[in-house]
Amino acid sequence: MSARNRVAGLVGGFRQTATMFLLAVGMGTIPVQSAAAQSSVSPEVVVDGLSFPWAVAFLPEGGFLITERDGALKYASPEGAVSDVPGSPEVFSQGQGGLLDIALAPDFDQTRNVFMTFSQGSPEGAGTSVFKAVLVPVGEGYSLEDGETIFRGNNRGFGGRHFGSRMAFKDDGTLFLTTGDRGDGPRSQDTMDHSGNVLRINQDGSVPSDNPFVQTSGYLPEIWSTGHRNPQSAAINPATGELWTVEHGARGGDEVNRPEAGKNYGWPEISYGRHYSGGKIGIGTSAPGFEQPLYYWDPSIAPSGMAFVTSDLYPDWQGDLLVGALRGQHIAKLSLDGTEITREEKLLTDLAARIRDVRQGQDGMIYVLTDDDPGKLLRLVPQATQ
């Protein structure tokens, strides 16, 4: 890994300047540009009064489905009127657990299938599960019918830490699902544990026949990649069709990864962060058999929610990656050259809000969920270049 990827930890001290400059880092340089030099955006409130919203999906007929961590699913009309959507699963709502991600099936127009992830309780503790249901119009709102839990992770544990829980559909219709290590790092290296992995399943919960470990003893067949800490961001790169994830580090070491089939991303054997106590994690920052991140942050921004920008409404952002920051209370805009991250900018720093989700809507606009009670769904309205 080039030392250039450490630039994220250096950028904060240079943010007050509005000029463009180069930071010399290792063998290369990374240009760092003030957000003021780019086309600006104005956050516009679409929905207010949400209770710790976690994820948003866009209905093709207009309006939004929004999960709330306590277990409620909300429908918001295009005008912002909010109603409950009954039929959600019973959730274990504690700490980071609850009703989490939501995604419409790729063939939603025909099937009306909706997928949600949630922390599901059991006598052995709570783990990450996937719920599937049919969205049915009822009056001026919706309900969920024929709901079933199609996948139950064995990443059971007590307490409310590290469920992961972002989803992304591959171009073949299979579903990627991230899981966290449940606050117990070594579980991410246990290949018979769903903790700390990227998983891949079919839409009925079965295992795709071409998963990397289907024929390998000692591995759970759902596993796509291992050695992750707590990935709360996942999206398909539209330029390549590949999955990208962003995961929480400990004290530093948040990572951008491009999880490949059968590969191990190192947690907790290698990390660019440290324990919260300040102690060293694992054996260092690299070791044979473990993949390097594309980028990392130190100090941590606590990433959650990500989107690739393809919209013509943001000409300066096309091809960029937006990552929401909880602890950092901003959006990190990462410029890409293929798989290399060449520049980082901080957006919405004046909002003073934890960013839980970032998505590009079917109207081409960027939408943001703030992690609060009351939380908001915001639309980023492009402004003219100064």
**How do residues 350-370 score in pLDDT, each as one tens digit?**
999 999 999 999 999 999 999
User: How many domains, in total, are found in the chain?
Assistant: 1
Percent of the chain with pLDDT over 70: 89
Does pLDDT of 100 surpass 80?
Answer: yes
Does pLDDT of 20 surpass 60?
Answer: no
C-beta of residue 54 within 8 angstroms of C-beta of residue 40: no
Residues 6+ apart with CB under 8 A from 138: none
First to last CA, the chain: 37
Does pLDDT of 268 surpass 90?
Answer: yes
**How do residues 211-234 score in pLDDT, each as one tens digit?**
999 999 999 999 999 999 999 999
Does pLDDT of 266 surpass 70?
Answer: yes
Residue 85 binned pLDDT confidence (cut-offs 50, 70, 90): very high
pLDDT at 225: 98
Average pLDDT over residues 371-375: 97
Does pLDDT of 143 surpass 60?
Answer: yes
How far is Cα 100 from Cα 94, in angstroms, rounded to an integer?
12
Residue 32 binned pLDDT confidence (cut-offs 50, 70, 90): very low
pLDDT at 383: 87
How far is Cα 356 from Cα 97, in angstroms, rounded to an integer?
14
User: Annotated active-site positions, please?
Assistant: 162
Does pLDDT of 25 surpass 50?
Answer: no
Does pLDDT of 17 surpass 50?
Answer: no
pLDDT at 15: 32
Closest to 12 (Cα-Cα) out of 30, 34, 38, 40: 34
Of 27-36, 97-106, 281-290, 360-369, which gets the smallest average pLDDT?
27-36
The domain of 120 spans 3-382
Strands 303-308, 321-325: pairing is antiparallel
Does pLDDT of 10 surpass 60?
Answer: no
pLDDT at 139: 95
Closest to 265 (Cα-Cα) out of 286, 283, 241: 286
Strand, helix or coil at 151? strand
Q: Residue 261's domain is classified under what CATH number?
A: 2.120.10.30
User: ∠ CA(47), CA(57), CA(313), 5° rounding?
Assistant: 80
pLDDT at 39: 59
As a whole number, the mean pLDDT across the chain is 91
Q: Where are the alpha helices (DSSP H) in the chain?
A: 8-11, 108-111
